[in-house]
Amino acid sequence: MRTFDFDLFVIGGGSGGVRAARMSAQRGARVALAECAELGGTCVNVGCIPKKLYSYAAGYAESFEEAAGFGWRLGEPRFDWNRLKANRAREITRLNGVYRGLLEGAGVTLIQGWAQLADAQTVQIGEKKHTARHVLVATGGMPFVPEVAGREHLVVSDAMFDLDPFPKRLLVVGGGYIACEFASIFNGLGAQVTQLYRGAHLLNGFDEDLRQFLAKEMTRTGIDIRFNCEIDMITRTDSGLCALLSRGQRVEADTILYATGRVPNTQGLGLEAAGVALDERGGVVVDAHYRSSVPSVLAVGDVSTRQQLTPVALAEAMVVVDTLFGKGPRQLDYEFTPTAVFTHPNIGTCGYTEAAARAKFGKVSVFSSEFKALRHTLSGSGERTFMKLIVEHASDRVVGLHMVGPDAGEVVQGFAVAMRAGATKAMFDSTIGIHPTVAEEFVTMREPMPG
């Protein structure tokens, strides 16, 4: 029988790769992991974690303004961008170390460097080749920027955490969640933010009412959102950068962020030469057990084009671990994956949009509510909260739950458990609310929308 250097070779030390390597090693497998940058991948270094820390930082601006209504008198708040950057960098370095410790503690062989497939069971880093029974591709994704004249002047999301100096004027191009989050964050931190999107509504794929409500709220916080806009050219001027729009308008900015989507990181990995099929976006095509078209090569996380979220990459990694070194194959259920968008206010969502629910279930009842939260009766803020439930008529099951409001992600996480368990609207109705909270509205909506 052929012998291998390792049972599993993981390419990429991000969310999915670290989880798969660590848990496989804990189950006795001989595991190596190659990472070409910092351990922790996108989420830890340039994604979820630093983004959420900056979102907290931005949130203080609202809190300072609202405090007066509750009797507080504060001096003029001053924001120190360099201190925030330094504190974030320290925390991220600590997390990189935690990841290293977890992998080393589990007995994973860590290799620093760019890895590629030499063949279906051989990984090459520099001149060195390692054989493995299974190879897991967990190389994530990277920002995609469309062709635009003056491209050298723009930045992508990876660069936003360390901008120097702080951009007084920020132009964000894109309408997805990353664009909306950075617009909200830098608006809160004090930048004058313009957001351009070529479509008519932000957040493609989210519930239609929620998309419109969020745009209104973001505008209320001071972001200048312009729809149906595209940039023809970016130039450098004496006073910064200038984006020339296809309709002839100009937008001046100190920084221009293109958050226009992400593509799988598969280039130069030797996948196609090894016979691994890629889809039209360059993602690894996998079956329900994350096997590619080559049985020894598997892929999890953003490198295959499913739901691109850290908890999804972690869950996929655990399916691989169980399949290769555990109880055997099982399948992940993606139906009620909850997710949040850390705009100001936040979005939390789980299950189907109204349109998707109508397409899948036929007749549905829709309950929705928009109100001013108790906090804002004294805060002076005009912020409003939006909540929506979509109920399958035939079964009474709640199949969609959407919220724009404070801590929406925290609220929706718990409801996601109920929805996965098949909770009906009658069960929501019979649940006692926690008063006074914003979340109680989800169990007190009684009248469906007409139609």
Binding footprint of ligand FAD on the chain (CB under 6 A): 11-17, 34-37, 41-43, 47-48, 51, 114-116, 138-140, 157, 178, 265, 269, 301-303, 308-311, 313
Residue closer to ligand FAD by CB (options 43, 242) is: 43
Closest separation in Å from C-beta 349 to ligand FAD: 13
Closest separation in Å from C-beta 140 to ligand FAD: 2
Secondary structure of the chain as H, E, C letters: CCCCCEEEEEECCCHHHHHHHHHHHHCCCCEEEEECCCCCHHHHHHCHHHHHHHHHHHHHHHHHHHHHHHCCCCCCCCCCHHHHHHHHHHHHHHHHHHHHHHHHHHCCEEEECCEEEEECCEEEECCEEEEEEEEEECCCEEECCCCCECHHHCECHHHHHHCCCCCCEEEEECCCHHHHHHHHHHHHHCCEEEEECCCCCCCCCCCHHHHHHHHHHHHHCCCEEECCCCEEEEEEECCEEEEEECCCCEEEECEEEECCCEEECCCCCCCCCCCCCECCCCCECCCCCCECCCCCEEECHHHCCCCCCHHHHHHHHHHHHHHHHCCCCCCCCCCCCCEEECCCCEEEEEECCHHHHHHHHCCEEEEEEEECCCCHHHHCCCCCEEEEEEEECCCCEEEEEEEEECCHHHHHHHHHHHHHCCCEHHHHHHCCCCCCCCHHHHHCCCCCCCC
Q: Of 134, 201, 344, 435, which one is the catalytic site residue?
A: 435
Closest separation in Å from C-beta 355 to ligand FAD: 24
Closest separation in Å from C-beta 430 to ligand FAD: 32
Closest separation in Å from C-beta 60 to ligand FAD: 19
Residues with Cβ within 8 Å of residue 212, at least 6 apart in sequence: 201
Residue closer to ligand FAD by CB (options 13, 351) is: 13
Catalytic residue status for 393: no
Residue closer to ligand FAD by CB (options 15, 368) is: 15
Closest separation in Å from C-beta 129 to ligand FAD: 14
Residue closer to ligand FAD by CB (options 242, 299) is: 299
Residue closer to ligand FAD by CB (options 134, 425) is: 134
Closest separation in Å from C-beta 139 to ligand FAD: 4
Residue closer to ligand FAD by CB (options 163, 245) is: 163
Catalytic center residues = 435
